[in-house]
């Protein structure tokens, strides 16, 4: 082996040692923490009945009308299946599917979709790779008696507007 080859290998090895030491000195990832209990461990319950779904939509639409907002509102059951939907006059067409997506994501992941939005803003980019995830607030689980019976999703305004309207609808069910 030539002197040049030996120096190249030695230099490369030293660089790898320095890089390894640098990596070892970095702070541990917060994702390495192992919680004692499962987060968002809400058991799925019986599906939301139609009358409760319609009451949630009615409250959401009433709040949206009071504020002069035109939204789409969806309620899905504990299996993520459509139970009820209402499109307010003049609401954005794209928001029909988005409101359903928000509701379905909330029930599937057992958490408000606002959590995904916050994670993406915080740079936790892996959440964007989760199937069925939506990184926008406005999807809220509906929990009765400690069991998830469905979720409500709203879309057509800003994320914060959608969330306010969902909260109004969810309050009727809780």
Tokens linked to 64 = 């949206």
Are 59 and 115 found together in one domain? yes
Q: Is 42 among the domain residues?
A: no
Mean pLDDT, each 10-residue run in order, the chain (174 residues): 51 54 65 84 95 98 98 98 98 97 97 95 90 95 97 98 98 92
| pLDDT value for 19 | 56
Residue 40 has a pLDDT of 87
Q: Which pLDDT belongs to residue 6?
A: 44
Domain span holding position 25: 3-32
155 - beta bridge partners? Answer: 72
Comparing CA positions, the residue from 40, 86, 73 lying closest to residue 170 is 73
Supply the pLDDT for residue 7: 43
pLDDT of residue 114: 96
Q: Do 70 and 22 reside in the same domain of the chain?
A: no
Total domains present in the chain:
2
Q: Which two tokens stand for residue 166?
A: 């969902």
Residue 36's CB: how many other CB atoms inside 10 A?
4
Question: CATH number for the domain including 134?
Answer: 3.30.450.150
- Same domain flag for 28 and 60: no
In a domain, 117, yes or no: yes
For residue 158, tell me if it sits in a domain: yes
């Amino acid at each position: 082996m030539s002197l040049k080859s030996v120096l190249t290998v030695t230099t490369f090895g030293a660089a790898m040692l320095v890089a390894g030491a640098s990596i070892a000195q970095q702070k541990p990832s917060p994702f390495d923490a192992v919680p004692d209990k499962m987060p968002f461990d809400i058991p799925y319950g019986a599906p939301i009945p139609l009358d409760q779904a319609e009451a949630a939509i009615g409250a959401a639409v009433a709040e949206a009308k009071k504020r002069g907002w035109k939204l789409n509102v969806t309620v899905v059951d504990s299996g993520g299946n459509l139970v009820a939907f209402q499109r307010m006059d003049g609401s954005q067409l794209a928001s029909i599917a988005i409101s359903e997506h928000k509701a379905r994501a909330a029930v599937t992941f057992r958490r408000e979709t606002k959590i995904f939005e916050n994670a993406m803003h915080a740079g936790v980019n892996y959440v964007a790779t989760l199937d069925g995830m939506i990184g926008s607030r406005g999807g809220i689980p509906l929990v009765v008696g400690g069991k998830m019976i469905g979720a409500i999703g709203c879309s057509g305004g800003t994320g914060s507007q959608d969330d306010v309207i969902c909260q109004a609808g969810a309050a009727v069910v809780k």
